[in-house]
Amino acid sequence: MTATIRQLKKAARIILVGAPGVGKGTQTERLLTRFPELASISSGDLLRENVRNKTPLGLKAEAAMQSGNLVPDSMILDLISSEFKSRGWLSAASTSSINPSASFILDGFPRTATQASSLETIVPVNFVVHLVTPPSVILSRIASRWVHEPSGRVYNTDFNAPKVPGKDDVTGEPLTQRDDDSIDTWKQRLHKFEETSKALLEHYQRKGCLWRVEGDTSDEISPKLFSAIERQFC
Ligand code: AMP
């Protein structure tokens, strides 16, 4: 089946806001396929790249990330503005002139109302999507996900269980649950999200650009999200 492609008629500057594990990454990938003019920036990916490359910023951010805390606002703002600049979305000389055709999705940024206010001084965001899945549904998704690390094969005990519980189908080696997926870390991240996102969502509600979409799965959410973006920008 060929994917449907839609052209944007207006610049779309989109933010996805949602609890950890809600599927922001999945929705972003699908949006990039459907709307090829969009580019995406994930603050988590940028940070992980810095940690991997052991940059000074990566070294500073690592501990906060591992413990499920947010990294300081100033650090994340530097990271994002330099990414905007390197993509040609901001003139090198000034952060006040945005390329009018730049259309993008920000994933994971801004996370707090303070970050949102700072972002506004650089880039006018015009569509904020609040992705909602009940935490109990996300939790059962995370708890049932197992990985065979050497190959990257992923199993889900609800709908794609290994033939022998706890063992990889191909090699018979033990399966593990990703560190990142550990339930305690997730709970801590959810708590942080709930704590900081309230003010963030209120901020965008006041600006009149907040739109909420709810579903138990990414497949349930995507078609609603596509229609909303098409109504607004196509
Ligand atoms: P993510 O992949 O978006 O879940 O981000 C992974 C980790 O990077 C988070 O748990 C935070 O420690 C850090 N991080 C990502 N984006 C931000 C942000 N906008 N503000 C502060 N910390 C962030």
Tell me what pLDDT residue 141 has.
85
Q: Is residue 175 part of a domain?
A: yes
Overall domain count for the chain: 1
Tell me what pLDDT residue 133 has.
97
Q: Is residue 221 part of a domain?
A: yes
Tell me what pLDDT residue 25 has.
85
Q: Is residue 170 part of a domain?
A: yes
Q: Is 145 annotated as a binding residue?
A: yes
Tell me what pLDDT residue 178 has.
64
Token look-up 């947010």 returns: 70
What distance in angstroms lies between residue 68's CA and the mean position of ligand 1's atoms? 8
Q: Look at strands 39-42 and 210-214 and give their pairing.
A: unpaired
Q: Is residue 85 part of a domain?
A: no
**Pocket lining: 47 vs ligand 1, CB cutoff 6 Å:** yes
Q: Is residue 74 part of a domain?
A: no
How many whole angstroms separate alpha carbon 222 and alpha carbon 7? Answer: 17
Q: Is 35 annotated as a binding residue?
A: no
pLDDT means per 10 residues, the chain with 234 residues, are 82 94 90 94 91 94 88 91 86 59 89 91 91 93 87 85 95 84 82 92 96 95 97 94
Tell me what pLDDT residue 230 has.
96
What domain range is 223 assigned to? 13-38+103-233
Q: Is residue 218 part of a domain?
A: yes
Tell me what pLDDT residue 96 has.
53
Q: Is residue 90 part of a domain?
A: no
**Pocket lining: 119 vs ligand 1, CB cutoff 6 Å:** no
Q: Does 110 sit behind a cis peptide bond, omega within 30 degrees of 0 on the bond before it?
A: yes
DSSP string over the chain: -PPP----SS--EEEEEE-TTS-HHHHHHHHHHH-TT-EEEEHHHHHHHHHHTT-HHHHHHHHHHHTTPPPPHHHHHHHHHHHHHHTTSB-SS-TT-B-TT--EEEES---SHHHHHHHHTT----EEEEEE--HHHHHHHHHTEEEETTTTEEEETTTB--SSTTB-TTT-PBPB--GGG-HHHHHHHHHHHHHHHHHHHHHHHHHT-EEEEE-SSHHHHHHHHHHHHHHHH-
What distance in angstroms lies between residue 141's CA and the mean position of ligand 1's atoms? 21
CATH number where 174 lies: 3.40.50.300
Tell me what pLDDT residue 220 has.
96
Q: Is residue 51 part of a domain?
A: no
- Whole-model pTM: value is 0.82
**Pocket lining: 106 vs ligand 1, CB cutoff 6 Å:** no
